[in-house]
Amino acid sequence: MRAELVVVPVLLPLATAGLMLLLGEGRRTAKAVANLASTVLSLAAALALLLWVNQQEAAVAFGVYLPGNWPVPYGIVLVADHLSALMAVLAGCVGLASLLYALARWQHAGVYFHVLFQLQLMGLYGAFLTADLFNLFVFFEVLLAASYGLLLHGGGGARVRTGLHYIAINLVASLLFLIGVAVLYGVTGTLNMADIAQKLPAVPASDRGLLHAGAAILAVAFLAKAALWPLNFWLPAAYAAASAPVAGLFAVLTKVGVYAILRLWTLCFPESAGASAHFGGEVLIWGGLATLAFGAVGMLASQQLARLAGYSVIASSGTLIAAIGFDAPQLSAGALYYLASSTLAGCALFLLVELLERSRMVELGPQQLDDGQDQLPAFFDAAPPTGVNLDDNEDALIGRAIPGPLAFLGLTFMASTLVVAGLPPLSGFVSKLAMLSALLSLDGAAAWTLFALIIVSGLLAATGLIRIGMRHFWTAPDRLPPRLRVIETLPISWLLALSLWLVVCGESALTYTRKAADALHSPQRYIEAVLSAQPLAVTSGEQP
Amino acid sequence: MEVVISLAIGLMAGAGVWLVLRPRTFQVLIGLSLLSYAVNLFIFSVGSLAIGQEPIVKPGLPADLMHYSDPLPQSLVLTAIVIGFATTALFLVVILALRGLSGGDHVDGHGEPP
């Protein structure tokens, strides 16, 4: 593999976004084609990275690229390892699904949808691939700035109101991020993550308080993005107000915070870090548990599917953060598998929301007041409604065919429910099983609380989702089937097929996440791989 | 000088936090701006404060922090200022949109009482 492949998923969306800006406000088709091509190609690049990383020996499974060709502690570094490649592929898969969905209708709701979408992808890929703390801040800002625009996509009071809260929260979180970065730089004198991790043991005892304060402030910024309780009150409202494809894409946004915590915490505060070993681990565990409980209760309390999907994102964040806090490789492996599965299912749920709402809109009937005729709408139909069982004995109507769209919605909703609630046979079950079996080998109240909460949250999620499913699919026999377009069904099928693939190839997927967890829990390999990277020899006597 | 800088940072951060917690959108905007000024000054100050030292290597002087100021925080501040300015401008647009949609300047979008 050429090292340049690491930078492709960042540069390609950026170049595409720039190109689309040059195209002006029209040329929708050209922009849609460019967007789709760039999304598919960057996903392919991320997939190539993942396959390459998977083939390598554990000690050398790091694709390191130096964008400015500066020697390592001074220049920015991009690194693709197991975790980064997995997150990048996940972002690409979710991005492709959201884009396909948006191509049906939502792309027409605003002029700059495609540009913002590509910048969002660029920020996601960059945040997952960078190995420089300040560069991480820049990519965070890129993806956040794009997400502000995308959240407001479509307009309307609800979006602007929740968008204001979302932007204010994230601006404050970004300032905290900056403070944390500045303190870490002041203490260690470097911004390269591997270099920071290497220098931490040498920090004098007098500076250790400052170091911990900086790390804690940085963690608050990440945890606010990962929707840790109590920093997550903005999430359900904002995600429910966002347009369907944007909310689907946002399913991976909270995972950026989780990723940053996972990367930096395992790198900087491992078992071997001396006085700083496992700094803040208890906060991660109990904060994650509180978040999981909050998300589960929220799922049960939600009446709308959109809010329920938001709470399911919170619950999955909580599970992940709590699992990270234990710093156990087996548990982390299960958690990474769960991360993939829950992100795919969360995106599918957000995409389904609008389609289900559409089937309810059909029930209200076409708009009759503004049809141009001076006629009051009829209060009741002269003819008996079709499809209702008018038989006196209410005998079953045998052989009535379920309309195709309704069958599709019902089946995909059921499949998403199975994944989110962690019921067999889909990937949610495998991920929860992997985490539960890892938890059995850990002792302590926190491990048992997480064990119980994972099971109980599954029950609550199943209850909440089944209740909504019953309301949508069972209780309205005379409901007309909604009209779906094929391109709207494609992304949902794609996400659920990926989830199914995670089960069918469960062993290889779990092997991969196990390798990723092992790599995370032996940070020395990452540090060596990054610090041993050499800039390319410069030809023709130029200075680098 | 350290005292002056820390007082300035503390004053701006305190005022910024107070304003961010206010219910009017414009106060939140000013609060965020003040907070970002405080943070920028803070980043600037982690690179060891010094007078009359520039981050450009001169012949004859050894290249260490005793003789030069650290150039990296200054470049970080520059990036942070640009990003902060852009996001603040975006926030202002959203505030105006909310004002147009709700008719008031409450952060939760409640209209003004008549």
Q: Are A355 and A366 in contact (CB under 8 A)?
A: no
Q: What is the pLDDT of residue A540?
A: 59
Asked if B88 and B33 touch (Cβ cutoff 8 Å), the reply is yes
Nearest to A172 among B20, B79, B88 (CB): B20
Q: Is B28 on the interface with A (CB under 8 A)?
A: yes
Q: In Å, what is the CA distance from A57 to each residue of A82, A511, B87?
A: 11, 13, 43
- Cβ pair A148:B94 closer than 8 A: yes
Q: Classify burial at A507, counting beta carbons within 10 Å of its beta carbon; exposed 0-12, middle 13-18, buried 19 or more.
A: exposed
Determine how many CB atoms are found less than 10 A away from the CB of residue A188. Answer: 22
Query: Distance (Å) from the C-alpha of residue B77 to the closest C-alpha of chain A?
Result: 9
Give the torsion sign (CA, A235, A80, A126, A88).
negative
A459 Cα to chain B: minimum distance (Å):
34
Q: What does DSSP assign to residue A522?
A: -
B102 vs A: CB within 8 A? yes
**Range with lowest mean pLDDT among A115-129, A220-234, A435-449, B62-76:** B62-76
Question: Which pLDDT band holds residue A229 (cuts at 50, 70, 90)?
Answer: confident
Which residues on A lie below 8 Å from B102 (Cβ)? 157, 161
- A113: how many CB neighbours lie within 10 A of its CB? 26
Per DSSP, what are the bridge partners of residue B24? B106
d(CA A123, CA A10): 8
SS3 content of chain B, % helix, strand, coil (to 5): 65, 0, 35
Q: How far apart are CA A543 and CA A213, in angstroms?
A: 39
Residues A248 and A345: their CA atoms lie apart, in Å, by 10
Q: How is A442-484 classified by DSSP, letter by letter?
A: --SHHHHHHHHHHHHHHHHHHHHHHHHHHHHHTS-TTPPPPP-
Does the beta-carbon distance from B83 to A138 stay under 8 Å? Answer: yes
Chain A contact set for B39 (CB, 8 A): 175, 178-179, 182
Q: Which pLDDT score is estimated for A157?
A: 77
Question: With an 8 Å Cβ cutoff, are B87 and A134 in contact?
Answer: no
CB contact B42 to A (< 8 Å): yes
Give the nearest partner residue to B108 out of A138, A161, A163, using CB atoms. A161
Number of Cβ pairs closer than 8 Å across A and B?
83
Report the mean per-residue pLDDT for chain A: 85
**Strand partners of residue A63:** A80
Tokens of A131: 């190995």
In whole angstroms, what is the distance from residue A190 CA to residue A526 CA? 17
- Model pLDDT for residues A307-331, shown as the tens digit of each residue: 899 999 999 999 999 999 888 888 9
Residues of chain B contacting residue A160, judged by C-beta atoms under 8 Å apart: 94, 97-98, 101, 109
Please tell me the predicted confidence (pLDDT) of residue B20.
92
Least trusted range by pLDDT, from A337-341, A367-371, A535-539, B90-94: A367-371
Using pLDDT thresholds of 50, 70 and 90, give the confidence band for residue A544: very low
**Distance, CA of A539 to CA of A543 (rounded, Å):** 9
d(CA A194, CA A530): 7
* β-strand partners of A192: A132
Q: Choose the mutation target among A152, A162, A172, A196 for the interface with B, i.e. most B CBs under 10 Å.
A: A172
CA A39/CA A13 separation, integer angstroms: 7
The DSSP bridge pattern shows strands A78-80 and A63-65 to be antiparallel
- Cβ–Cβ < 8 Å for A86, A50: yes
Question: For the whole model, what pTM was predicted?
Answer: 0.88
CB contact under 8 A, B94 and A163: yes
Q: What is the pLDDT of residue A110?
A: 78
B/e letters for B99-110, b = 16+ CB within 10 Å, e = fewer, are: bebbebbbbebe
Distance (Å, whole) CA A56 – CA A61: 5
Question: What pLDDT does residue A347 have?
Answer: 92
Whose structure tokens read 């499809």? Answer: A387
What is the structure's pLDDT at A528?
A: 87
Q: Is pLDDT above 80 for A90?
A: yes
> Is B107 close to A164, i.e. CB distance below 8 A?
yes
Average pLDDT of chain B to the nearest whole number: 85
- In angstroms, rounded to a whole number, what is the distance separating the alpha carbons of residues A207 and A177? 19
Whole-number Cα distances in Å, A148 to A46, A113, A145, A183, A341: 25, 12, 5, 28, 26
Residue A177 has pLDDT above 70, yes or no: yes
Q: Give the pLDDT band (50/70/90) at residue A117.
A: very high
Chain B residue nearest residue A148, CA to CA: B90
Nearest CA in chain A to B105: A161
Cis peptide before A477 (omega within 30 of 0): no
Interior angle at CA A112, CA A110 and CA A117, nearest 5: 110
CA distances from A24 to A28, A30, A37, A110, A237 (A): 10, 11, 19, 13, 33
Interface of A with B (CB under 8 A): 134, 138, 141, 144-145, 148-149, 152, 156-157, 160-161, 163-165, 167-168, 171-172, 174-175, 178-179, 181-183, 185-186, 191
Cα–Cα distance measured from residue B86 to residue A431, given in angstroms and rounded to the nearest whole number: 41
The CA-based angle A98-A110-A169, given to 5 degrees, is 70
The reported pLDDT for the residue numbered A367 is 41
Q: Model confidence over A491-512: pLDDT tens digits?
A: 899 999 998 898 898 888 989 9
Q: Which residues pair with A130 in a beta bridge?
A: A78
| Cα angle value A246/A249/A251 (rounded, 5°) | 115
Average pLDDT over residues A142-169: 88
Q: Return d(Cα A143, Cα A134) in angstroms, integer.
A: 14
Q: Which residues of A touch B28 (CB under 8 A)?
A: 168
Is A183 close to B46, i.e. CB distance below 8 A?
yes
Residue A222 has pLDDT above 90, yes or no: yes
Measured between beta carbons, which residues in chain A are less than 8 angstroms from residue B83?
138, 141, 174
A218 φ, ψ (degrees, to nearest 5):
-60, -40
More confident residue, B110 or A497: A497
Q: In the structure, what pLDDT confidence band is assigned to residue A456 with cuts at 50, 70 and 90?
A: very high
User: Which residues neighbour A308 within 8 Å (Cβ) at sequence distance 6 or greater?
Assistant: A298, A299, A302, A349, A464, A465, A468
CA dihedral A403, A408, A414, A420 (to 10 degrees): -150
Condensed to tens digits (0 to 9), the pLDDT of residues B4-60 reads 999 999 999 999 999 999 888 889 999 999 999 999 999 988 877 777 777 777 787
Distance CA A540, CA A518 (A): 43
Distance from CA of B67 to the nearest CA of A (A): 16
Domain boundaries, chain A: 3-364+405-531
Tokens of residue A37, six digits:
């091509």
For the ranges A243-257, A285-299, A313-327, A397-411, which has the lowest average pLDDT? A397-411
Q: Which residues are registered as beta bridge partners of A439?
A: none
- Asked, as a colleague might, if the bond just before A230 is cis with ω within 30 of 0, I would say yes
Q: What is the predicted ipTM?
A: 0.91
Of A43-52, A374-383, A434-443, the range with the lowest mean pLDDT is A374-383
To the nearest whole angstrom, how far is the Cα of A345 from the nearest Cα of chain B?
31
Residues of A in contact with B90 (CB under 8 A): 145, 148-149, 167
* Secondary structure (H, E, C), A287-323: HHHHHHHHHHHHHHHCCCHHHHHHHHHHHHHHHHHHH
Over range A275-296, report the average pLDDT. 89
pLDDT at A392: 60
DSSP A538: P
Closest approach of B8 to chain A, Cα-based (Å): 16
Q: What is the pLDDT of residue A121?
A: 93
pLDDT grade, residue A479 (50/70/90)? Answer: low
Provide Rg for chain A, Cα atoms.
Answer: 24
Judged against a pLDDT cut of 70, whether residue A371 lies above it is answered with no
Say whether A182 and B94 touch across the interface (CB within 8 A). no
The DSSP string of A46-87 is: HHHHHHHHHHS-GGG--EEE-TT---TTTS--EEE-HHHHHH
CA distance A386 to A474: 16
Buried b (16+ CB within 10 A) or exposed e, A240-265: bbbbbbbbbbbbbbbbbbbbbbbbbb
Residue A72 pLDDT? 82
| The residue type at A217 | I
Amino acid at A201: P
Q: Which of the four pLDDT bands, split at 50, 70 and 90, describes residue A377? A: very low
- Tell me the mean pLDDT in the region A104-131: 88
Q: What is the pLDDT of residue A294?
A: 93
How close is the nearest chain A Cα to the Cα of B80, in Å? 8
To the nearest whole Å, the CA of A120 is away from the closest chain B CA by 15
Query: Of A70-84, A306-320, A351-365, A386-400, which one has max mean pLDDT?
Result: A306-320
**What radius of gyration do chain B's Cα atoms show?**
19
Q: Is B95 touching A (CB cutoff 8 A)?
A: yes
What does the alpha-carbon distance between residue A539 and residue B10 come to, in Å, rounded to a whole number? 50
- Test B87 with A186 for CB contact under 8 angstroms: no
